Structure 1
Amino acid sequence: MPIKFQHIAPKDILCAMPFIQKLSGHKVPNEILSQRLLEMVTQNYECIGIYDADKMIGCCGLWFMTRHYAGKSCEADHVYIDESYRSKGLGKQLFNWIESYVKAKGCETIELNAFLHNTAGHRFYEREGFEKPGYHFVKWISEEA
C-alpha cells in the first residue's frame, strides 16, 4: 500500500471536510464547519492528508503552540482514517511521521484529545506512548458552538 502523508494547502482545506464531518457526527452544520476550517488555516494550524496513491483516505490537523507545562508543542487534532484502512498500521505510521515532522520544527511534546467513548483510540494512543495527565473540559458559551 503506497501510503503517503502530505500537507493540505490552506486553499484546499475543505477537502478534509468529509472526514471531519464524520468525526463530529455531522453535528456541526456544513456552513459553520467550512467557515471554521477556513479560519483555522489562518492560525497556527496545519492539516495533513493521508493518501493511498491519489485517494485521500484520512486527515489529521496539527496545532502549534508553546505551553508553560510542555514547552513548544504540537496538538494532533481530528485524526481520522477511513474505516476500510483501519487496523493496518496506518495510525502508527501517521504518528511516526508526525513525531519526526514536529521534532524537526523544534517541538518538545505532542498532545491530543480523545473523546471519552473512543476507548479503542485510547488504547492506541497509550501504546504509542501517550499519557493521560488530566481531563479536557469544555464550557459551551454560545448556542452556535
Structure 2
Amino acid sequence: MTYSFKILDSSELDSIVPLVFDLNQGKISKSVLIARFNEMKNQNYECAIILSEGKIIGVTGLWFCTRHYSGKSVEIDHVYITPKYRKKGLGKLFMNWIQKYCKTKGYESLELNTYVQNYPSHKFYYNEGFKILGYHFVKKI
C-alpha cells in the first residue's frame, strides 16, 4: 500500500471533520468542529494529512509559535490514524515527515499533549524521542 503526506489547504479543513469526530468519540458535534476549524485556519494552524489511494486516513494539526523555553516550536494536535491503518509503522513515517516539514520551515522543537489514560500513545511518543516536560491543565471559563 502506498501512503503520502501533505499539508491540507485551509479551504479543505471540512474534509478532516469525520476523523476528528471519531478521535473525540462523538463528544464534539460535527457542526461545532466545522465552526472551530473555520476559526483555527486564521490562527497559525496547519493541518497535515495522510493519504492512501486519494482517501484521507490520518490527520494532525500543527500550531506554530515561539515559546520562551523551546524557541520556535510546533505543537502537534489531534493526531488520528483510522484504526484499520494502525500498527503498520505509519505513525512513525508520519512523525518523521512532520519533523522534516517543520525543520524546513525553520522550527526547532515539537510538542504535544496526550491524554493521561492513552498509554499506547505514551509508549509511541517515548519511542519517537519525546520527553515529558510537565502536565497540561485546562479550565473552562
- TM-score normalised over the length of structure 2: 0.97
SS in 1 for 2:39: helix
Whether 2:135 is the aligned partner of 1:130: answer: no
Give the alignment's Cα RMSD to 1 decimal: 0.8
How far residue 27 of structure 1 moved from its aligned partner, in angstroms, is 1.1
The whole-number CA distance in structure 1 between the counterparts of 2:114 and 2:65 is 19
- Say which SS state the counterpart of residue 125 (structure 2) adopts: helix
Which position in structure 1 is the counterpart of 2:70?
70
- After TM superposition, give the deviation of residue 55 of structure 1 in Å: 1.4
Aligned-pair CA distance for 1:53: 2.0
Q: Which residue of 2 aligns with 1:97?
A: 97
In the alignment, structure 1 segments of 5+ residues that lack a partner are: none
Give the stretch that moved more between structures: 130-139 or 16-25.
Answer: 16-25
Q: Return the alpha-carbon distance in structure 1 between the equivalents of residues 31 and 114 of structure 2.
A: 24
1:59-118 Cα shifts (integer Å, max 9, x gaps):
111000000000000011111001000000000000000110101111110000001111
Alignment of 1:1-145 (within 5 A): 1-141=1-141
Q: Which runs of 5+ in 2 are unaligned?
A: none
Q: Which runs of at least 4 in structure 1 moved beyond 3 Å after TM superposition?
A: none
Amino acid at match of 2:126: E
Query: CA separation in 1, counterparts of 2:12 and 2:30?
Result: 16
Percent of paired sites with the same residue: 48
TM-score (normalised: structure 1): 0.95
